[in-house]
């Protein structure tokens, strides 16, 4: 597939910075369909315009500059490597010009320092960090230089146990599954584990601020971050962690990049405290924009009196590599809950689903997950899918469980949704409640077949289907691809039924099938419409649907980006969620950290990728 091209970038710079304008011949192909108007980047005081992003510097020149500075590792523009880095799990295909695979942290610092200098001469140069490339929004795609952090920086450094927690320090490219394995051996786990934990990395999860089922109770990955080592725009590594007011005052006495960015961020928050507080999304989960509301844990006045912390890890986590490159991560792991009860609730209509969820979340569950009938149907029609996922005997037992549940328990009817609720028995007992009573209430609320799952193979069956929901939706129609663009909407749970009713109406209107799964307790749903990317009309359809579906989420005080982050797909739509004033604060804070726009431009602020012409053409 050919590379897709880029239309424009607008970059905020301080008024003292000279306006740069670069004009190069575009290698972009004309969009094949008329481009509907996307929300334009909001005007700021001064812009740098990047009219195109192609052929800024030859590969050999970049390699020469890097090698002269001591960079170790791959610097390549080999066609097959560029193709490999042209896609992630998103709907996009964008070819980089150069791929870097630094061998060590020092080489990442060198790349940042060299690029920091060269972007002044060649503004179309930039560095986009990449880990496992499993992102669903195109966050790791670029038309400039991709720096694969996971190729070599992938080791666990240490695990320490203290006060009932374990603290794991690792390089960002460490596979999540490996961190999980060593923690499990000690009785701990990272509670924000995403469904992609078998394929993603720790650094990618921090940079996306990933979340998963147990985030209902434990929050996003950012909530587990203890400290981060981050390379900032000056090419130096800084250790970033929560600071008391005294420590913060000490930090900003310095003159380095971190001191300046911390000072400027604090002043920005202090000056705009009310606007920022009001801009905080109403949903429990959010990865849209920069969470300025989370940087100071108290009010500014209280912080100045010595309460709370100033925590820039909150800003770096989820920043998608737009303000610095993470080179080391320390995360807090929690003990694995031993006494849990799994309740499965089959619901045959939407209003029951809503009532059940609202009841379930009263009991502080560890998770409340959901998948729909299309997903279960796909599982039953594709039993061979589970063969590689389960040891042989378990495979047969799990399948037996799948079909008997359908035939015996549900009278051969597929419930519209299956809700899985994991309760913490100790927490329930502490409140003086009983599991049997909760099951009874859930039955009354509409889940008539609600029951505690005691058979381990049935338990495994339900989790297999839920964990593989996205992959199972890929099997629904081999001629189509489950498209990731509506997959991250979330609303406050009290609006679940109304929101879902509207979404069902819209899917019908567009004549599109979408399997649904997600995090019911957060009313956070992953809709993956099945679309044919070989069709010329698909890109325009995507734009039209995005407009209308996102507006529906906003109508119910929801969010277009619960955990998969903005990337290319959602950045242009942030103006639907935030006011111009708040978008300007996002741009200012990004500019504070990255004044020369070295890091991953076009994501989170200043959208510059033309969505229509960047959409892939294969399923």
Ligand X SMILES: Cc1cc2nc3c(=O)[nH]c(=O)nc-3n(C[C@H](O)[C@H](O)[C@H](O)COP(=O)(O)OP(=O)(O)OC[C@H]3O[C@@H](n4cnc5c(N)ncnc54)[C@H](O)[C@@H]3O)c2cc1C
Binding site for ligand X (CB under 6 A): 88-89, 128-136, 139-140, 149, 172, 194-196, 200-201, 203-205, 207-208, 210-212, 320-321, 325-326, 470, 563-564, 600
Nearer to ligand X, 140 or 233 (CB): 140
Q: Which is nearer to ligand X, 208 or 552 (CB)?
A: 208
* DSSP codes of every residue in 180-223: HHHHHHTTEE-TT--TTTTT-BHHHHHHHT---TTHHHH--GGG
Residue 388: Cβ-neighbour burial (10 angstroms; 0-12, 13-18, 19+): exposed
Q: How far is the CB of 566 from ligand X (least distance, A)?
A: 9
588: its two tokens:
């200012």
Q: Which residues contact 267 (CB under 8 A, 6 or more apart)?
A: none
Q: On the CB side of 597, how many CA atoms lie within 13 Å of its CA?
A: 30
Least CB distance to ligand X at residue 434 (A)? 32
Query: Nearest-CB residue to ligand X?
Result: 204
Of 139 and 446, CB closest to ligand X = 139
**Beta carbon of residue 99, minimum distance to ligand X (angstroms, whole number):** 13
Residue 130 backbone phi and psi in degrees, to 5: -140, 140
Non-local CB neighbours of 397 within 8 Å, separated by 6+ positions = 457
Instruction: From residue 107, give the alpha-carbon distance in Å to each of 75, 224, 231, 328, 385.
Output: 11, 28, 11, 14, 41
Q: Considering the complex, what minimum distance in angstroms separates the CB of residue 210 from ligand X?
A: 3
- Alpha carbons within 13 A on the beta-carbon side of 102: 31
Given the complex with ligand X, which of 401 and 490 has the nearer CB atom?
490
Tell me, rounded to whole angstroms, the distance of Cα 526 from its chain centroid.
Answer: 12
Residue 325 vs 420, nearer CB to ligand X: 325
Backbone angles phi, psi at 167, to 5 degrees: -120, 115
Coil, helix or strand at residue 88: coil
> Whose Cβ is closer to ligand X: residue 57's or residue 205's?
205
Neighbouring-strand partners of residue 524:
490, 519
Report, in Å, the least distance between residue 100 CB and ligand X: 12
| Nearer to ligand X among residue 406 and residue 593 (C-beta) | 593
- Nearest distance from C-beta of residue 90 to ligand X, angstroms: 9
The DSSP symbol for 588 reads: H
Q: Which two tokens stand for residue 62?
A: 């970049």
Give the nearest distance from C-beta 505 to ligand X in angstroms: 27
Beta carbon of residue 225, minimum distance to ligand X (angstroms, whole number): 13
Phi-psi region of 143 (alpha: psi -120 to 50; beta: other; left: phi over 0): alpha
Q: How far is the CB of 245 from ligand X (least distance, A)?
A: 28
Angle at Cα 194 formed by Cα 193 and Cα 200, nearest 5°?
A: 100
The residue (of 327 and 613) whose beta carbon lies closer to ligand X is 327
Burial of 168 (0-12, 13-18, 19+ CB in 10 A): buried
The CA–CA distances, whole Å, from 248 to 102, 242, 494, 557 equal 32, 9, 40, 35
Phi, psi of 76 (to 5 degrees): -140, 150
Query: CA torsion sign, 440 to 445 to 447 to 453?
Result: negative
Least distance (Å) between residue 347 CB and ligand X: 22
- Which CB sits closer to ligand X, 139 or 242? 139
Distance in Å, CB of 511 to ligand X, minimum: 26
CB closer to ligand X, 44 vs 87: 87
Comparing CB distances to ligand X, the nearer of 208 and 272 is 208
């Amino acid at each position: 597939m050919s590379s897709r091209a880029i239309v424009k970038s607008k970059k905020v710079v301080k008024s003292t910075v000279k306006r740069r304008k670069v004009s190069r011949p575009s290698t972009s192909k004309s969009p094949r369909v008329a481009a509907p108007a996307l929300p334009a980047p909001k005007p700021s005081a001064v812009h740098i315009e990047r009219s195109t992003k192609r052929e800024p510097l030859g590969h050999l020149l970049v390699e020469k500059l890097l090698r002269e500075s001591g960079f170790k590792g791959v610097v390549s523009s080999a066609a097959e490597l560029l193709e490999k880095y042209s896609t992630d799990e998103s709907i996009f295909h964008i070819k980089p010009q150069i791929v870097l695979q630094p061998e060590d942290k020092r080489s990442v610092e060198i790349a940042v320092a060299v690029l920091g200098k060269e972007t002044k001469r060649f503004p179309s140069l930039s560095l986009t960090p990449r880990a496992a490339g499993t992102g669903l929004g195109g966050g790791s795609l670029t038309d400039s230089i991709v720096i694969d952090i996971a190729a070599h920086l992938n080791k666990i450094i240490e695990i320490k146990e203290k006060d009932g927690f374990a603290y794991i320090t690792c390089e960002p490219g460490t596979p999540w599954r490996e961190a999980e394995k060593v923690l499990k051996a000690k009785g701990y786990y990272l509670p924000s584990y995403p469904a992609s934990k078998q394929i993603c990395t720790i650094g990618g999860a921090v940079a996306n601020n990933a979340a998963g089922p147990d985030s209902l109770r434990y929050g996003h990955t950012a909530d587990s971050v203890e400290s981060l080592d981050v390379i900032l725009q000056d090419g130096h590594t800084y250790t970033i962690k929560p600071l008391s007011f005294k420590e913060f005052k000490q930090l900003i006495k310095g003159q380095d990049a971190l001191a300046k960015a911390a000072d400027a961020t604090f002043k920005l928050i202090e000056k705009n405290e009310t606007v920022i507080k009001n801009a905080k999304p109403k949903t429990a989960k959010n990865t849209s924009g920069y969470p300025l509301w989370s940087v100071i844990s108290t009010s500014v006045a209280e912080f100045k009196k010595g309460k709370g912390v100033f925590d820039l890890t909150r800003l770096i986590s989820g920043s998608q590599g737009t303000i610095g490159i993470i080179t080391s991560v320390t995360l807090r792991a929690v003990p694995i809950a031993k006494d849990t009860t799994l309740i499965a609730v089959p619901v045959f209509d939407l209003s029951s689903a809503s009532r059940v969820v609202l009841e379930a979340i009263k009991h502080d569950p560890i998770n409340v997950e959901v998948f729909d009938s299309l997903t279960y149907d796909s599982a039953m029609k594709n039993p061979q899918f589970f063969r590689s996922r389960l040891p042989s005997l378990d495979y047969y037992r799990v399948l037996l469980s799948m079909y008997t549940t359908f035939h015996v328990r549900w009278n051969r009817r597929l419930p519209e949704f299956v809700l899985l609720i994991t309760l913490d028995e100790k927490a329930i007992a502490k409140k003086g409640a009983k599991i049997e009573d909760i099951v009874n209430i859930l039955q009354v609320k509409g889940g008539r077949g609600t029951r505690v799952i005691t058979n381990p193979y049935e338990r495994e069956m339900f989790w297999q289907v839920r964990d593989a929901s996205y992959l199972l939706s890929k099997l629904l129609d081999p001629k189509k691809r489950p498209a990731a663009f509506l997959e991250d909407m979330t609303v406050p749970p009290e609006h679940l039924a109304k929101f879902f009713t509207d979404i069902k109406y819209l899917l019908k209107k567009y004549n599109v099938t979408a399997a649904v799964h997600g995090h019911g307790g957060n009313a956070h749903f992953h809709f993956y419409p099945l679309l044919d990317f070989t069709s010329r009309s698909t890109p325009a359809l995507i734009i039209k649907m995005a407009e209308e579906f996102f507006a529906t989420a906003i109508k119910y005080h929801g969010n277009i980006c619960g955990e998969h982050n903005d990337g290319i797909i959602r950045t242009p739509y942030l103006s639907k969620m935030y006011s111009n004033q708040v978008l300007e604060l996002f741009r200012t804070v990004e500019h504070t950290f990255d004044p020369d726009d070295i890091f991953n431009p076009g994501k989170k602020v200043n959208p510059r990728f033309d969505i229509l012409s960047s959409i892939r053409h294969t399923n």
